[in-house]
Amino acid sequence: MKRLYILLLLNGIILASFGQINLYSASTIPDSLKKDAVMVVREEVIKFSIKDINSAKYEVHQVLTVLNEQGKKYLQFQEFSYEFRVLDEAEIKVYDASGKKLNTYSKKEMTSLNYGEGLVPEGKLTYFNVSPPAYPVTVEINYSIRYKGLFTYPGNYFQHSNQSVQKAVFDVEVPAQLSLRYKVLNCDYQPEITRSGNKEEYHWEVKNLRAFKTEKHMGSTDNYLPQVLLGPNKFQLNEYDGDMTSWKNFGNWYNTVYQKTTELKEDRKLFYINLVKDAKTDMEKAEILYNYLQHNMRYVSIQLGIGGLKPFPAGFVDDKKYGDCKALSNYLKSALDAVSIKSNLVIIEGGMDPGTVFEDFPAHYFNHVILCIPQPKDTVWLECTSTTLPFAQLGPFTENRKAMMITHDGGILVNTPASDYKKNTESIQTLIEVNEEGGAKVKTNSILSGDGRDEILMRFHDLKEDEKRKYFINQKGWKQPDNFEISNSKNKANPYLVNTVMDYEKIYSFNAGSKLFFESRLYPIFDEEIPETEKRKNDYYFTCPYQTIDTTVYKFPAGFMLESIPQNKLIQLPFAEYSCNYSWDAATHTLTSAALLKIKDRVIKASDYAQLVDFKNQIMADMNEKIVMKKN
């Protein structure tokens, strides 16, 4: 009997070991989970254990098989630590394709760096990159995070694109008197909820999820990735207790945090009053103060106090001449208060593709602070970290989204302005003086306003001269010249001007005997990435709506005669428009091409995507049409 027991015990150990070996071996992945996948989640167990209103533990166990080079991002481990969130333990084990363990790396072998601007190195980044000897490779990742203040609860993505899942578990444990809120997005994975003693337990489990592909330009991952959001009811950071069950209550917490940070010294208040003394309206006063901010204060990313949520006092910024987004916004609010102009801080998520803010689910979605001056009409929005945005203009970083405005009566959800294609305009005038040999001297004048101006200020204005020329060729797609001179607005003017003078030894594209074939313009007027597909499933997102106005004038020598020009073109859709018209002046041998492109809407519905593809194809076909001249 004793021998039988030992045999059964050994048998169990062998079977368990075999199960473990199978888990780490790439050969045991079902074929159905390999299709379209760059990585397979073999096993994932995540547990978020809330101890009380102020502390919790987050534990992660993952076994991931990376199938190829395209999945190498899953071999990069990185976690941030700061005052209220600390990485306790971390370990990574690496296995080859057969499941044989190759290496084990502990936290002490990983790299830890302070992050920030160096003024207040409060945060720390711990990271490690696994270098696989070959693919497929399997990594086992185990780590835990300790929370010492609970302002946000970590949610969970059940699956990412090009990733399949064999089994994944997400467990949450919370004291019943605290409870929690959850919201499931892009799936119907509802939790199993049980109550044990004085605790509530939430259990999500998914199995055998096949990989899916994403489409280009889908916007935020909130639009398509299956996930669950978690939110606290009551929370506490340091001595600041809060309630997140309504936007009003959440905003009141911010009011408490910002108390005693808005005061300026009396002499500084008088300084600002004197600064605006000649202004006739409140908006003129506000613009003067905003311009003062832009020219005298410096943006520095600082994460100080209660997790980076409480700003430096306005007096500190006024004295030191720097601050982060919340400090600069709070400072300008205080300066406006000094001249009797009321304004409101706005807590917002900045980014090109922000996540969704849900009216029915108050939570901390945000990473940025701006300022708003409410008006009966044309409310003024101010980006206090920018030295280039004009007064009362936001860019793609904060347009088109919901945010929480902080009022004396708490928080309210507001919409920032929608971007307007008419305000985002690039107007280009090009004169091409063709010589007898088919070369040319080209002069262009570009005028940019709105988001196009903001982009060129970020990507172009501060480049060296040679890099500016490369920008026009590589980024803007201009035909490569033989000689290139470029000049631009020196003071970041609005609108912004860029002028070029270029020489081309040969301006035409090709010839057939005495016939020379010329492009209608020297750059692509529409070069957005719009892939063709049988049927689009998700809406398509442009960076912003915009319009481009192009006038290209060819001046030909007397020996050149017009053979043919493209037909005039007009394409009109509810969300976009394109036109191109040609005119020939025989007396002066001048050919003018006038084109207009309008992208009126930032978001194109999936149901309209086929029209968008056809729109681009028609423009591309028109752009490929040639002006044909005959040389005598």
> Domain residues of the chain, as ranges?
10-220, 240-415, 425-631
Q: What pLDDT was estimated at residue 534? A: 87
420 vs 599: CA distance, rounded Å: 10
- Domain 240-415 has what CATH class? alpha beta
Q: Indicate if the pLDDT at residue 10 is higher than 70.
A: no
Length of the chain: 632
Q: What pLDDT was estimated at residue 83? A: 82
pLDDT in tens, 545-596: 999 999 999 999 999 999 999 999 999 999 999 999 999 999 999 999 999 9
Task: Quote the mean pLDDT of the chain.
Answer: 92
Q: What pLDDT was estimated at residue 17? A: 40
Q: Three-class SS string for 26-46?
A: HHHCCHHHHCCCCEEEEEEEE
Q: Are residues 77 and 110 in contact, defined by beta-carbon separation less than 8 angstroms? A: yes
Average pLDDT over residues 87-115: 95
Q: Indicate if the pLDDT at residue 306 is higher than 80.
A: no
pLDDT in tens, 192-223: 999 989 999 999 999 999 999 999 999 999 99
pLDDT-derived band at 149, boundaries 50, 70, 90: confident
Q: What pLDDT was estimated at residue 302? A: 66
DSSP of 80-145, one letter per residue?
EEBTTEEEEEEEEEEE-TTS-EEEEEEGGGSEEEEESSSSS--EEEEEEE---SSSSEEEEEEEEE
Q: Indicate if the pLDDT at residue 11 is higher than 60.
A: no
With respect to CATH, is domain 10-220 assigned 2.60.40.3140? yes
Q: Are residues 127 and 109 in contact, defined by beta-carbon separation less than 8 angstroms? A: no
Q: What pLDDT was estimated at residue 378? A: 85
Q: Closest by alpha carbon to 303, among 139, 125, 541? A: 125
Q: Global pTM?
A: 0.89
Q: Three-class SS string for 498-561?
A: EEEEEEECCCCCEEECCEEEECCCCCCCCCCCCCCCCCCCCCEECCCCEEEEEEEEEECCCCEE
572-600: string of b/e by CB count within 10 Å (b at 16+)?
ebebbbbebebeeeeeebebebebbbbbb
In the chain, DSSP finds a helix count (H) and a strand count (E) of 11, 37
Q: Indicate if the pLDDT at residue 305 is higher than 60.
A: no
pLDDT in tens, 353-410: 888 999 999 999 999 999 999 998 889 999 999 998 999 999 899 999 999 999 999 9
Q: What fold characterizes domain 425-631?
A: Jelly Rolls (2.60.120)
pLDDT-derived band at 122, boundaries 50, 70, 90: low
pLDDT-derived band at 297, boundaries 50, 70, 90: very high
pLDDT in tens, 501-550: 999 999 999 999 999 999 999 999 999 999 999 899 999 999 999 999 99
